[in-house]
């Protein structure tokens, strides 16, 4: 039985482990932290991602602690006036073939971990920091900072935006600051009273900034993400804390639903949004990249984690179909996934401009037609998501 060594125990790495196991491989996940977990924040798993979990019989377990939004919605940030609202439960399944879920990242990671360990006990090795990889024509190996070596038939680099695997494969790279910084926070719904966010996936738009609100953990938590344009930034940390006053200042004068969320949050995490052009290479012999290690995506299309989930399924499927020709499998993986992930990266950048219209005229010209479509032809708004949500990685043909 072939073995995949997966560097990184986040959403992408754990999904890769589950998909490889599903296709008959042994797996070993190497996670540098001393425990698996995520800083508190929400995540959206759109229908294209849920199709992967369904294919492995995991949909019910993934959905157990989720929240299903009533609608997809857009509002003006200051007035709260609704631009459009389109139903997102039955209509989502009918149009795109699977549900649209909101989850707490920690819940998703914990569920993936439990599902993996149920299938292959001891599949996860903690406190295992990768420093390099080596390979022969038959095997690939990961060198740990402890001096240990872990060997497999394939190494998968799912170690995120600061990937050690990518750096060795392609050299050090210098991402471009997008001019946007973001804050995130999670607040118990019980603290929000009459100013709780709507039970929707809601984008609040405004000049040079926007916010996103939605509910988590069966509706007991509210998730807030706020993005504002800023000229300079140097940090790329995902866990840097910000002050409540800093976030309130960025959204001064906005609707009370937004500002109340900010006020009630105990902790705000801040991170700068950096962009990277599509890479020329994701594969080196028996080593392949996955997820943010090769195509980090701005959080404006709700597709970052889902792209890693799609990657994991196709990579495992191809390698299981041609286990004696991994070169061909990995080449097909890269050639298939590159245009798909580049399309999502472009759409995410475009949404940053869409959500941040700077003048009253530009907002009227952009959101007026959206308001009209929401009233008389909601299918037009849904069609904007067809390239992303309708996609089914299971249907990708072998080449």
Q: Point out the residues that are catalytic.
A: 214
Dihedral of alpha carbons 313, 30, 305, 208, sign: negative
- The DSSP code for 67 is B
Tell me how far apart the alpha carbons of residues 33 and 8 are, in angstroms, rounded to a whole number.
9
Dihedral of alpha carbons 12, 17, 22, 23, sign: positive
Element at 257 (helix H, strand E): helix 256-264
SS3 115: helix
Residue 283 token pair: 């594969």
Residue 340 token pair: 């798909």
DSSP 310-331: HHHHHHHHHHHHSTT-HHHHHH
Strand extents, DSSP E, the chain: 3-7, 26-30, 42-45, 71-76, 82-87, 101-104, 124-125, 130-135, 140-144, 149-152, 154-157, 176-188, 201-206, 209-216, 221-229, 240-242, 268-275, 283-284, 287-289
SS3 79: coil
Cα three-residue angle 344-348-351, rounded to 5 degrees: 140
Tell me how far apart the alpha carbons of residues 360 and 383 are, in angstroms, rounded to a whole number.
26
Tell me how far apart the alpha carbons of residues 15 and 4 are, in angstroms, rounded to a whole number.
13
Report the 10 Å Cβ neighbour count for 137.
7
Tell me how far apart the alpha carbons of residues 205 and 16 are, in angstroms, rounded to a whole number.
35
Q: Is-contact 160 10, C-beta < 8 A?
A: yes
Report the 10 Å Cβ neighbour count for 115.
20
- Longest alpha-carbon distance in the chain: 64
């Amino acid at each position: 039985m072939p073995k995949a060594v997966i560097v990184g125990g986040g959403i992408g790495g754990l999904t890769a482990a589950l998909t490889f196991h599903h296709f008959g491989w042994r797996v070993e996940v190497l996670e540098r932290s001393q425990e698996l977990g995520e800083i508190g924040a929400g995540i959206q798993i759109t229908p294209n991602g849920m199709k992967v979990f369904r294919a492995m019989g995991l949909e019910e377990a993934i959905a157990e602690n989720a929240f299903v939004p009533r609608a997809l919605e857009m509002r003006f940030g200051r007035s709260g006036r609704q631009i459009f609202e389109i139903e997102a439960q039955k209509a989502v399944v009918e149009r795109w073939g699977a549900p649209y879920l909101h989850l707490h990242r920690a819940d998703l990671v914990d569920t993936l971990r439990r599902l993996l360990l149920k299938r292959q006990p001891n599949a996860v090795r903690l406190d295992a920091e990768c420093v390099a990889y080596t390979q022969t024509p038959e095997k690939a190996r990961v060198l740990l900072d402890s001096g240990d070596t872990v060997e497999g038939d394939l190494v998968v680099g799912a170690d995120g935006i600061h990937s050690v695997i990518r750096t060795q494969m392609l050299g050090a790279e210098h991402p471009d600051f997008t001019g946007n910084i973001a804050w995130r926070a999670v607040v118990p719904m019980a603290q929000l009273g009459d100013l709780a966010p709507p039970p929707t996936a809601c984008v609040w738009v405004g000049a040079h900034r926007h916010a996103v609100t939605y509910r988590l953990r069966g509706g007991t938590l509210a998730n807030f993400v706020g993005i504002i344009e800023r000229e300079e930034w140097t940090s790329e940390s995902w866990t840097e804390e910000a002050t409540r006053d800093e976030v309130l200042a960025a959204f001064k004068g906005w609707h009370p639903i937004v500002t109340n969320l900010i006020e009630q949050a105990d902790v705000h995490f801040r991170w700068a949004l950096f962009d990277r052009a599509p890479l020329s290479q994701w594969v080196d012999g028996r080593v392949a990249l996955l997820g943010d290690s090769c195509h980090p995506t701005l959080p404006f299309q709700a597709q970052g984690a889902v792209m890693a989930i799609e990657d994991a399924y196709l990579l495992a499927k191809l390698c299981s179909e041609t286990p004696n020709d991994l070169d061909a499998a990995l080449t097909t993986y890269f050639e298939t996934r590159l245009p798909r992930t580049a399309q999502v990266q472009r759409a995410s950048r475009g949404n940053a401009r869409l959500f941040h219209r700077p003048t009253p005229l530009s907002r009227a010209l952009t959101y007026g037609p959206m308001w009209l479509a929401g009233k008389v032809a909601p299918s037009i708004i849904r069609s904007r998501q067809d390239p992303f949500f309708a996609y089914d990685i299971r249907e990708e043909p072998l080449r």
